[in-house]
Amino acid sequence: MRIAFTKKRERNNKMGKNKKKKKKSVKEAQINIPRQFFKKIGIRPLVGPNEKRNLKMIEREISRRLGKDTLESFRVVFEPECDDTAFNFCHRSLPLVKVWYGDDINHLCRVAKELKDFEMLPNLKILDIGGGPGHLAFWMARIWNPLKVVVADQYSHIGAEWAQSLNEDRIEFIDSLLPDLKGISDEQFDTIIISRVLGNLEVLDLPTCYDEFNYIDYLKSDSGQFKIDFLRSIGHKLNELLTDDGHLIIADSWSDIRKVLIGGSFEKEGLYMNPDKFDPRRVGKEHSIVVFSKTPIVEPIPDLPLGLSAAENLPNQSYEFVGTSAETMRTFFSKGNILKDFEYYDSNDEDIIKFEIIEKVGLMLLYKVTNGGLKRAWIYPSIYYKKVINMLMEVTNEKIIEKGGRVTYRDDFFSLPN
């Protein structure tokens, strides 16, 4: 009986240890979920996952945490027409900061999820420009395990207090703002993050739409030229701070004209959109990321920002044109840039298939003609070039006949730029 009892106790102890390990692993996994992580560092969500920000929730939380006197002070300075008054008031102290981001939790979590999907090597140096009191920096320290994160904003005293309370010594805070970024040392960073800053810069006033007849007229206008020059000055400084193989990540709300303005201005300063590092289909008015690199990607697309802009309102699945409508689309693209032009023999249908890929003002036409005269065409944003190439690699045979008659093996043909 004693032996049986001992074995039972050992078995129960083992089960208890396994349960503890399981609970610990579940907690670790939950911390990697943005909403749970921010709650752990003191940001109590004030709205549900699908709810909008709510002023009443901010007021109730201020009263609960800091008392009625603080609530009355908030009501005195708050102006409903100007969200900045509430923002500035709630960045006076760490408890107020936690209240603010508790109400802003859904926007914060969306950006956090976008950053989590970005693959990052450990032990890198990160610069978080406009990172406030460090709320996203703490998340980046969690998911990326960097060597250090430098947060540049005007709330270093709050950020340092918060980091100390969390025993987080990898995050540094400096008082420095765009566009000058004074106070940042001459060192370079492997990754630079600018989250929800450019779209909120009052002096820049980035538009979501424009009154001019077309985007070219807008870019030539006084307003457009001012924004281009301002963005170029920012891009120039960012280029100096970024390592040669580093990445710049912009998290913001993206309209079609913002993509053209930011992407085109940064490109002139040697920072190029890198669609290998982000998903163009996710870039839109909801906060999402666009990644830039110093090295232009090897693709025959003349204007990536315009291609990304074209993706704003086009469906993910391309519309198919057949027959004369396909020929009409081919005529429209006749003065465009031919990216690929080839044919191959389809052994299944015993037919010769001809393809053209043509780019024009951010759009891309895939044009197909069979030996029997059947014509088809599909339109995509030009930034989907690699997606179309991968699709063609799946349907074509081993040997490709290029324009002029030269025979090339499929993998070589599709991997080399024209």
- Taking only the tens place, the pLDDT of each residue in 265-317 is 999 999 999 998 999 889 998 899 999 999 987 677 888 899 999 888 787 67
Model confidence, pTM: 0.85
Looking at per-residue pLDDT, the higher value among 193 and 82 belongs to 193
- 92 is written with which tokens? 């006076």
| DSSP letter, residue 281 | G
What pLDDT is attached to residue 20? 52
% of the chain at pLDDT higher than 90: 58
Between β-strands 399-402 and 407-409, what pairing exists: parallel, antiparallel or unpaired?
antiparallel
Residue 417 has pLDDT above 50, yes or no: no
Characterise 73 by phi-psi region: left (phi > 0), alpha (psi -120 to 50), beta (else): alpha
Query: d(Cα 184, Cα 282) in Å, to the nearest integer?
Result: 32
Mean pLDDT, rounded, for 22-42? 73
Contact by Cβ (8 Å): 219, 212: no
- Sort 169 into a burial class: Cβ within 10 Å, 0-12 / 13-18 / 19+: exposed
Which residue spans within 32-169 are E strands per DSSP? 125-129, 148-153
Looking at per-residue pLDDT, the higher value among 274 and 211 belongs to 274
Residue type (1 letter), 202: E
Contact by Cβ (8 Å): 363, 337: no
Q: Which residues of 332-358 are buried (b: 16+ CB within 10 A; e: fewer)?
A: ebeebbebbebbbbeeeeeeebbbbbb
User: What residue ranges define each of the domains in the chain, with the CATH number in brackets?
Assistant: 32-116 (no CATH), 117-310 (3.40.50.150), 320-415 (no CATH)
